[in-house]
Structure 1
């Protein structure tokens, strides 16, 4: 699903002699050829971004594999990481290389896409289950929504068809049905449920009474939250902002009535960017880096007022004149400890 859609063309009406019969652009109209090249550049650029991110975080991945026990979340992380890499490289090969067997490569892309999408979504299913201490109700609900995401990815194999460009060995997609947007819509709904569930759980971990103003500051800025809870909230905000932006752009382009060749232009950037952010959130929580950085408080410049520092001329008020703070019912902290996430 990484290529531009070519309009139906009757090759029998081609002139007997083409300027460059071995060049695939000779079989396309100037407009389609331009869009074809733009799509190829986007695929190459996103592959470069993904490779840079993987190489940049190789030390972190090495720590995950050597310093921490390898459990299901870590295996899902590795699967998601490398499946997206292989999928992106296959898209670039499909776009730029003379591979001849276009249908076979298209089938590989169609059937590897469910692994790519499902493994990335599963990372946050495991995250929300950990936030809720693996309670039965959240685990069942988000297990069902994740299965819906996995099932929706199968429509891609039914809505895309590829063929060779003219008589060349290069490939192009010849059919693109709008209902392939279903997979991105279902994935967006799933991520919305996950984000709302985690945010709601973190709201119960505040140390102040919530009203409309404080609730807004908690949800948006993470105020009144412990450091670890604030980190969970902010990481989720970054991931959800990336997901909702890229998914909405992908769906909008798929349903645009004009520029049919650009309908699937943003599908590969959506896959790559969402995976990068999901893996970033997993590493930050697993390694506990942000929690350690933010928990270090510099007390060198703190100043304290003592009784000896007060002036003798100041009036001394009895303790009974002081207004006692209103007692607040203690709220039980039901959020898992950071060690639970690190022990994934």
Structure 2
């Protein structure tokens, strides 16, 4: 039985368990529930939309550490999102233990996602010792502070019902410092990825003649600021990364400006955005590996001339030690997925043009023979 406005009502006849809570608390719960369900819907759409791409990763390439970490990020966030949806909308027998399980999925997602970016950065910089140590310490710090989520997020029953409500724990004040450490790690990753990709952007602009080599100083600090701004705003991958950093800054400021749980209402939106961007980045890199397969691994319909054409165009970009770095003469540069995709499209177009020329020449020869006969 429950008492509402001095009236005793059977629990089975309550229209909603929220009627037992103060109006200001109900308002916060409804906002958090709607935001979470909306973000979960976006995540489900992304997962279903990329099932075919994920299957290609498993069936076409050898499953390595990066692929395992990638699928761990996808499954852990999906489990957390669906599980929290149940916590917010359905009765649960033991709210505290259920919340502990959700916290475990959340910690696994943060650890695996940051580790995937750590692998990406160390690969871009060819396992440079300084980069490995610096970003390794940043990753360990991020994982360490993320474990505080297990004591910062708790849940309990809305008495006398079996529905759950998220409650701030005594350790909820650790949420702000945790978000701050994660923000520092994300900023370091963003700076490292942008710097390396920007060097490639400058090298490509010089090769096309759209940028003065003397003004760029080989893509260094002296490059025009307008070129940097253009790169950040026009490159899709960098724009996505900038959006992720912006949402993390907002969450960090909210962690210190608002009380718990209002401060973490929009955290699920940031997590979904990070997962979508991380997934797109990893799948784009794996597609490049598929396009770089040797001759015996190419599709049976490709001709020897097409293969030699691709090999000759890619000959000016030789891979060093298999670490993704390429050299042209004395200049060293690293190509981003977007630039590589454009380069591959140019190669495919040239191969198609050569094939069409051969077909037209064969057709013209046949017409000449028919005319003579």
Pairwise TM-score range, normalised by the shorter structure: 0.7 to 0.9
Q: Is the aligned partner of 1:49 residue 2:42?
A: yes
Aligned to 1:274: 274
2:74 equivalent to 1:81: yes
Q: Is the 8 A contact 2:4 2:20 kept in 1?
A: no
Decide which of 56, 65, 71 is 2:64's aligned counterpart.
71
* Larger helix fraction of residues: 2
Return the alpha-carbon distance in structure 1 between the equivalents of residues 334 and 10 of structure 2: 68
Deviation at 1:32, TM superposition (A): 1.6
In structure 2, what is the equivalent of residue 320 of structure 1?
none
What is the distance in 2 between the residues matched to 1:336 and 1:138? 19
The counterpart of 2:102, out of the listed 98, 109, 115, is 109
- SS of the residue aligned with 1:263? helix
Please give the TM-score of this superposition, normalised by the length of structure 2: 0.68
Per-residue CA deviations over 1:128-180 (Å, capped at 9, x if unaligned) read 11111122221222111111111010111222222101211111122152321
Q: Give the distance between the partners of 1:191 and 1:67, measured in 2 at CA.
A: 31
Alpha-carbon distance in 2 for matches of 1:235, 1:123: 20
Offset at residue 217 of structure 1 (A): 4.0
Distance 1:261 1:122, change over 3 A: closer
Q: Does 1:183 align with 2:182?
A: no
Contact 2:241-2:277 at 8 Å conserved across structures: no
2:249 match: 248
Match of 1:216 in 2: 225
The residue number in structure 2 matching 1:237 is: 238
Decide whether the 8 Å contact of 1:19 with 1:26 is kept in 2. Answer: no
Q: Give the corresponding residue for 1:309.
A: none
What's the RMSD between the two structures over aligned residues?
3.1
Q: What's 2:263 paired with? A: 263
Count of residues in correspondence between the two structures: 283
**Cα–Cα, structure 1 residues 54 and 24, in superposed 2: closer, same or farther, change >3 Å?**
same
The answer on 1:17 being equivalent to 2:17 is no
Contact 1:188 1:243 in 2 (8 A): no
Q: Give deviations 1:160-208, integer Å, cap 9, x for gaps.
A: 2221012111111221523213332222211211221233334544242
Shift of 1:31: 2.4
Which digits, 9 at most, give the CA deviation of each residue in 1:6-31, with x for residues without a partner?
A: xxxxx999836148664311211122
* Structure 2 residue ranges without an equivalent (≥5): 207-212, 293-328, 342-373
* Shift of residue 127, structure 1, vs aligned partner: 0.9
1:281-336 Cα distance to aligned partner (Å, 9 max, x none): 111222139x99xxxxxxxxxxxxxxxxxxxxxxxxxxxxxxxxxxxxx7521537
Q: Is the 8 A contact 2:255 2:263 kept in 1?
A: yes
- Residue 91, structure 1, aligned to residue 92, structure 2: no
Displacement, 1:271? Answer: 1.1
Unaligned runs of 5+ in 1: 1-10, 224-229, 293-329
Mark the CA change 1:178 to 1:239 in structure 2 (over 3 Å): closer, same or farther.
farther
Aligned residue for 2:163?
170
- State the secondary structure of the residue aligned to 1:17: strand
